Amino acid sequence: MKAPRAASPPQSEAELEERARSIAGLTVRELAARFDLPLPESSTRGKGFAGTLAELALGASAGNRSEPDFVELGVELKTIPLDQRGRPLETTFVTTVPLHQILELEFEQSPLYHKLRRVFFLPIEGEAPLPERRFGLGFFYSPSEEELAIIRRDWELFGELIATQEMESIDGTLGEIVQIRPKGRDASDRVLGPLQEGSAEGARGEEGGLAYARPLGFYLRTSHTRAIVARALAL
C-alpha cells in the first residue's frame, strides 16, 4: 500500500470539519500508518508528532511559515491534549513574541490577534501512550468580545513592560488569558530583541539598538482553554 500524500487544503470550514470527523476516533498509530510515518521512539522525542499528523490529514499548508495553517480559510489548527474528564493537560502555544516589533504594533495588527481570530481545536487523548492516543472531534473557536478585551489587556501589559525596560520581570505568572513563557531550543538560546537600558554593550551583543534576549512565546492558559473546551462539549 502506497502512503497517501498530505491532503490538499480544504476549501471551506465545512470541508475542514468533515475531514476532522473522518479522523475522529483514530489513534496516532493508525494515522501514522496511513502516511507510512514511523512512530517516535518515545513521547519525549515526539512532542509535536500528533500535531504534524493532524496537519497532514486535514490539509494544512505544510511548512513552518508564519501564516495560518489553513491560509485560504484564515484558520489556525491546534491539537489540544485532554485528560479523561475532558480538561486540557497543557497550555497552548500561540505564536512567538515579536520582541523587535511589539512596541510598534497595535493589538489588532499583532500576530497574537491574527492567530487567535479563528482557531480549529482538535482534541486528543493526553494520558495514553503516544501511539494509542485517539483524536477527538474538532471544533471551531473565535474569541468573544469580552475575551478579546482581556487578551488585548494582556498584550498591552506585556508591551508596556518591554517598553519600560522591564522585560526581565516578565514570567509565566503574568497575563489573564495569555501568558509569556520561554520558547527556545534551550535555556541558553538567544534572539535579537530590544536593547535594555543598563545592559553592558558588547558583553550582551548590542547591535544598533538591539540586544540578545531569550526567545519567548505567547501561550493560552489551561484555565482558558478549559472553558473553551467545556463550552464546545456542552453544545
Partner DNA sequence: GATTGATCATGT
Partner DNA sequence: ACATGATCAATC
The yes or no reply on residue 172 touching DNA (CB under 7 A) is yes
The yes or no reply on residue 91 touching DNA (CB under 7 A) is yes
The yes or no reply on residue 225 touching DNA (CB under 7 A) is no
Element (H, E) at 123: strand 119-125
Contact region for DNA (CB under 7 A) — 13-21, 23-31, 50-58, 143-151? Answer: 50-58
By CB under 7 A, what part of segment 124-143 binds DNA? 124, 126, 130
Element (H, E) at 81: strand 76-82
The yes or no reply on residue 215 touching DNA (CB under 7 A) is yes
Q: Residue 3: phi, psi to the nearest 5? A: -75, 125
The yes or no reply on residue 221 touching DNA (CB under 7 A) is yes
Could you tell me if residue 99 is left (phi over 0), alpha (psi between -120 and 50 degrees) or otherwise beta?
Answer: alpha
Query: Nearest approach, Cβ of 37 to DNA (angstroms)?
Result: 10
User: Which 8-state DSSP code applies to residue 195?
Assistant: P
| Contact assessment for residue 82 and residue 121, using Cβ atoms and an 8 Å cutoff | no
Closest CA to 54 of 81, 88, 83: 81
Beta strands across the sheet bearing 119-125: 76-82, 119-125, 139-141
The yes or no reply on residue 43 touching DNA (CB under 7 A) is yes
Query: Nearest approach, Cβ of 190 to DNA (angstroms)?
Result: 7
**Closer CB to DNA, 55 or 152, in the complex:** 55
The yes or no reply on residue 222 touching DNA (CB under 7 A) is yes
**What does each C-alpha distance from 147 to 30, 79, 92, 152 come to in angstroms?**
37, 21, 16, 9
Query: Nearest approach, Cβ of 172 to DNA (angstroms)?
Result: 3
**Residue ranges that bind DNA, judged by CB under 7 A:** 40, 43-48, 50-52, 54-55, 62-66, 69, 76-79, 81, 87, 89-91, 93, 95-96, 111, 122, 124, 126, 130, 171-173, 179, 181-192, 215, 217, 221-223
